Amino acid sequence: MTNRIGWIGLGRMGEAMVKRLLKKEHGVSVWNRTAAKAVPLAEYGATVAANKQDLAACEIVFTMVSTTDDLKQVLFGDGGLVTGKAKPKVVVDCSSISQEGSAQIRAQLEAAGVAYLCTPVSGNAKVAKAGKLLMVSSGPKALYDQAEPYLQAMARKVMWVGEGELARIWKIAHNVMFGVVIQNLCEITVLAEKAGIPRHVFLESINDSVLGSMYTRYKTPMLTNLTFDQVTFTPKLLLKDMDLGMAAARTHGVVMPAAAATRESVARMVGRGHDDIDFAVLLLETARDAEMELKPDNVKMSDGLES
């Protein structure tokens, strides 16, 4: 193992990304707030750190957490990564957070002598496991060049989009489209099924049309068989990102009516108590509005992510 890497945050995404690094024979030390999630990675060759500050000796530390406040806590809170005498040289954050929060974090890190690269990703844990993430960075170009070999180990493609927090805007725009597409996909799928087209037949046809994408393909098995317990992304997380998108739209003076309507639909889904379940459960809510009760098709469908 070479190129010692530190990693904070081992949810579904973080765990899959660390496994890709280990598979490429990069040495990784890991820490997670719920320590039990870190322990299984030792079987793959990771070193489990007792506390966050132990990672300060690593060449580069990646973070993958849920919110801006979570990132501030692991970096600057009690026992935070950069609160000890020793500090890492580089922090690369892969979380989905606001542009404003990211700028505050950059200022604090750089004041402490720590370089900072924003690198949000496109893809869920299954995409990460297959090594098919897209990783988009912003910050100093020289820093991106330094981190690029590690990013390449986790992704099918990596990109630098500019200085500062531009990658945060990219991720916000990406996830707004994420929401709008699932909203529309659920609407047209319910329309087709109510008119008489079997759900799996309709989704297969969309996937093979000019409108098909990696996104529509990897959601197809779940939408076909209603396996929403196989969580990739929750309604609450999607609502958080839609809210970030609407806030960015107000800041930059951009009107986004499709996104605004989708945001309200997702908020209603959250209000109805959908919690630890995949956001694609929106299909059931859309069917309910159409006075339909859906049943699983029980058809095996490819998700396009075989590795």
pLDDT digit string (tens) for 124-150?
888 999 999 999 999 999 999 999 999
Percent of the chain with pLDDT over 90: 92
Residues 16 and 104 in one domain: yes
Residues 261 and 120 in one domain: no
Rg (CA), the chain: 20
pLDDT at 303: 84
What does the alpha-carbon distance between residue 300 and residue 211 come to, in Å, rounded to a whole number? 21
pLDDT at 306: 61
Asked if 253 and 281 count as a contact pair (C-beta separation under 8 A), the reply is: no
Residues 197 and 140 in one domain: no
Is the CA virtual torsion 154, 155, 158, 164 positive or negative? negative
- Answer whether residue 299 is part of any domain: no
Residues 177 and 158 in one domain: no
Nearest to 240 by CA among 184, 300, 172: 172
What pLDDT digit, counting tens, does each position of 146-187 carry? 999 999 999 999 999 999 999 999 999 999 999 999 999 999
Which pTM was predicted?
A: 0.88
Strand, coil or helix: 55? helix
Say how many domains are in the chain.
2
Residues 251 and 265 in one domain: yes
Q: Exposure of 148 by Cβ count < 10 A (0-12 exposed, 13-18 middle, 19+ buried)?
A: middle
pLDDT at 280: 97
What pLDDT digit, counting tens, does each position of 60-117 carry? 999 999 899 999 999 999 999 999 999 999 999 999 898 999 999 999 999 999 999 9
Residues 193 and 277 in one domain: yes
Domain range for 188: 169-289
| b/e sequence 128-144, b meaning 16+ C-beta within 10 Å | bbbbbbbbbbbbbeebb
